Amino acid sequence: MKKTALITGASRGIGAGIARLFAKEGYRVVINYYKSGDAAEAVKREIISEGGEADVFCCDVADCSGVEQMVGFAKRRFGAVDVLVNNAGVALFGLVTDTTEEERRRVTDVNLHGVFNTSKAVLPDMVSRKSGVIINISSIFGLSGASCETVYSATKGAVISFSKALSREVGPSGIRVNCIAPGVISTDMNKSLTPADLAELKERTSLNAVGEPCDIAAAALFLAGDGAKYITGQVITVDGGII
Ligand code: NAP
């Protein structure tokens, strides 16, 4: 029986990479997006043209009622949500002293409260089925912190503690919760980096490379599958070996 994965922020970047790989591996995928409707439809078309099953749903993960509607849509469309990948996220660059209250609230609403909203919406069914997997995309900055990305780092650190705490809460119900902490991955989020910035970032990794969305997708696929059935409350760092 095919499983269903709901992937937030899957119109572009890492989320789109996760949707493509999961579909290739036989999952039905729900591609969540907020602003990039055309890109989300293109990911859906690509998956279907390769024989996979996919649908799209537009909502802001920061909006509780939109998230509940999205989970309802996933259940009506494909029966159940077996795997939730909380990938949607926004960056915020700047000094703490230059950060407005509105910016701080928005990044926290999307990166942290979004993870809470989707988890809360899928959990009742997962608990009654006594199975389910939640994978949260954090960041190496959630572990180390990054200068001029303090609010972003704080939200990503909070996603890690949220995941660890939730793994304890729902483990007895057969649900696993893990995090992936990506390093620098080639997506729109990093499009403002210059070639010189990228060269410097590469040099800071053991593998002398920037990662691709497929690198994060491969880790997510592992965490979603039975090969990871005894792994919960963990953070897998996928960063090319930051030195
Ligand atoms: P990206 O290319 O900027 O894509 C972000 C995705 O999130 C888009 O699909 C976007 O959808 C979606 N999104 C943003 N706000 C949303 C909202 N309020 N509701 C629903 N969807 C929303 O970013 P990325 O690099 O793929 O990042 C994906 C995740 O990995 C993020 O959580 C990011 O923090 C994390 N990460 C990235 C890196 C990196 O180097 N790229 C490193 C560490 C961690 P729309 O365009 O449709 O709005």
All residues at 6 or more sequence positions from 85 whose CB lies less than 8 Å from its CB, including other chains: 5, 6, 7, 8, 15, 18, 135, 137, 220, 224
- Measured from the Cα of 37, ligand 1's closest atom is 47
Residue of 90, 162, 216 to mutate, ligand 1, most atoms within 8 A of C-beta: 90
Q: What is the pLDDT of residue 60?
A: 99
Q: What's residue 32's pLDDT? A: 99
pLDDT tens figures, 205-219: 999 999 999 999 999
Residue 137 CA to ligand 1 center (angstroms) comes to: 9
- CA of 187 from ligand 1 middle (Å) equals 9
- pLDDT for the residue 243: 87
Query: Which residues are 6's β-sheet partners?
Result: 30, 84
Please choose from 12, 151, 214 the residue to mutate so as to test ligand 1's pocket, defined by most ligand atoms within 8 A of CB. 12
Tell me, what's the pLDDT at 211?
Answer: 98
> Nearest CA to 44 among 7, 69, 76, 73?
7
- What are the pLDDT tens digits along the chain (243 aa)? 899 999 999 999 999 999 999 999 999 999 999 999 999 999 999 999 999 999 999 999 999 999 999 999 999 999 999 999 999 999 999 999 999 999 999 999 999 999 999 999 999 999 999 999 999 999 999 999 999 999 999 999 999 999 999 999 999 999 999 999 999 999 999 999 999 999 999 999 999 999 999 999 999 999 999 999 999 999 999 999 998
From 6, 8, 33, 144, give the residue whose CB has the most ligand 1 atoms within 8 Å, as the site to mutate: 33
* Distance (Å) from CA 162 to ligand 1 centroid: 19
CA of 180 to the centre of ligand 1 (A): 14
Q: Answer whether 186's CB lies under 8 Å from 17's CB.
A: no
Cα–Cα dist 135/25, whole Å: 17
> What architecture does CATH give domain 4-238?
3-Layer(aba) Sandwich (3.40)
Residue 152 a catalytic site member: yes
Q: What is the pLDDT of residue 217?
A: 99
At 1 the pLDDT is 86
Q: How far is the CA of 214 from the centre of ligand 1 (A)?
A: 14
How far, rounded to the nearest angstrom, does the alpha carbon of residue 31 sit from its chain's CA centroid? 12
Active-site annotation holder among 27, 33, 34, 152: 152
Within 6 A (CB) of ligand 1 lie 8-9, 11-15, 32-36, 60-62, 87-90, 110, 137, 139, 182, 184-185, 187-190
Contact 88, 116 (CB under 8 A): no
